[in-house]
Structure 1
Amino acid sequence: MGAHVSKQVERRKSIQTEKKVLTEMKQSNGCEFPCSDYHPSDRKNWMSGLNPDKVQINQIVWPGTHDSATNKIGFPFVTRPFAQCQSLSIYQQLVTGARVLDIRVQEDRQVCHGILVSYSVDVVIEDVKKFLSETQSEVIILEIRTEFGHDDPPDFDKYLEDQLGEYLIPQDDQVFGKKISELLPKRVICVWKPRKSPQPKAGGLLWNAGHLKDNWIDTDLPSTKFESNIKHLGEQQPVTARKFFYRVENTVTPQADNPILCVKPVTDRIHPYARVFISQCFSRGIADRLQIFSTDFIDEDFVDACAGLTNARAEGKA
Structure 2
Amino acid sequence: MGTQVSKQVVRRKAISTEKKSLCDLHQNCGEEYPGSDYRPPDRKNWMSGLDPHKIHINKIVWPGTHDSATNKIGIPLITRPFAQCQSLSIYNQLARGARVIDIRVQEDRRVCHGILVTYGIDVVIRDIKKFLSETQSEIIILEIRTEFGHEDPPEFDKYLVDQLGEFLIHQDDRVFEMTVAELLPKRVICVWKPRKSPHPKAGDPLWSSGYLKDNWIDTDLPSTKFESNIKHLSEQQPVSARKFFYRVENTVTPQADNPVLCVRPVTGRIHGYARLFIVQCFSRGYSDRLQILSTDFIDADFVDACVGLTHARIQGKA
Q: CA deviation at 1:314?
A: 0.5
Give yes or no for the alignment of 1:68 onto 2:68: yes
SS in 1 for 2:52: coil
1:129 corresponds to: 129
Instruction: Quote the Cα distance in structure 2 between the aligned partners of 1:32 and 1:124.
Output: 35
| C-alpha distance after superposition, 1:24-47 (max 9, x if no partner) | 001001111101010000000001
SS in 1 for 2:103: strand
SS in 1 for 2:269: coil
Q: CA deviation at 1:136?
A: 0.2
Q: CA deviation at 1:16?
A: 0.5
TM-score (norm. length: structure 2):
1.00
Instruction: Quote the Cα distance in structure 1 between the aligned partners of 2:158 and 2:5.
Output: 52
Unaligned runs of 5+ in 1: none
Query: After the TM superposition, which residues 45-84 of structure 1 pair with which residues of structure 2 at under 5 Å, given as runs?
Result: 45-84=45-84
2:221 corresponds to: 221
Instruction: Quote the Cα distance in structure 1 between the aligned partners of 2:270 and 2:16.
Output: 12
Q: CA deviation at 1:95?
A: 0.3
| C-alpha distance after superposition, 1:123-172 (max 9, x if no partner) | 00000000000000000000000000000000000000000000000000
Q: CA deviation at 1:219?
A: 0.1
Q: CA deviation at 1:83?
A: 0.1
Instruction: Quote the Cα distance in structure 1 between the aligned partners of 2:134 and 2:116.
Output: 32
SS in 1 for 2:273: helix
Identity of aligned residues (%): 78
SS in 2 for 1:237: coil
Letter in 1 for 2:223: S
Runs of 4 or more above 4 Å deviation: none
Give yes or no for the alignment of 1:267 onto 2:267: yes
Instruction: Quote the Cα distance in structure 2 between the aligned partners of 1:226 and 1:31.
Output: 15
Give yes or no for the alignment of 1:118 onto 2:118: yes
Instruction: Quote the Cα distance in structure 1 between the aligned partners of 2:179 and 2:235.
Output: 26
How many residues end up aligned between the 2 structures? Answer: 318
Instruction: Quote the Cα distance in structure 2 between the aligned partners of 1:55 and 1:87.
Output: 30
Letter in 2 for 1:254: P
Instruction: Quote the Cα distance in structure 2 between the aligned partners of 1:32 and 1:11.
Output: 33
Instruction: Quote the Cα distance in structure 2 between the aligned partners of 1:58 and 1:164.
Output: 23
Query: After the TM superposition, which residues 201-216 of structure 1 pair with which residues of structure 2 at under 5 Å, given as runs?
Result: 201-216=201-216
Instruction: Quote the Cα distance in structure 2 between the aligned partners of 1:118 and 1:94.
Output: 19
TM-score (norm. length: structure 1):
1.00
Query: After the TM superposition, which residues 219-298 of structure 1 pair with which residues of structure 2 at under 5 Å, given as runs?
Result: 219-298=219-298
1:93 corresponds to: 93
SS in 2 for 1:270: helix
1:7 corresponds to: 7
Instruction: Quote the Cα distance in structure 1 between the aligned partners of 2:21 and 2:33.
Output: 20
Instruction: Quote the Cα distance in structure 1 between the aligned partners of 2:60 and 2:31.
Output: 20
Give yes or no for the alignment of 1:18 onto 2:51: no
RMSD of aligned Cα (Å): 0.3
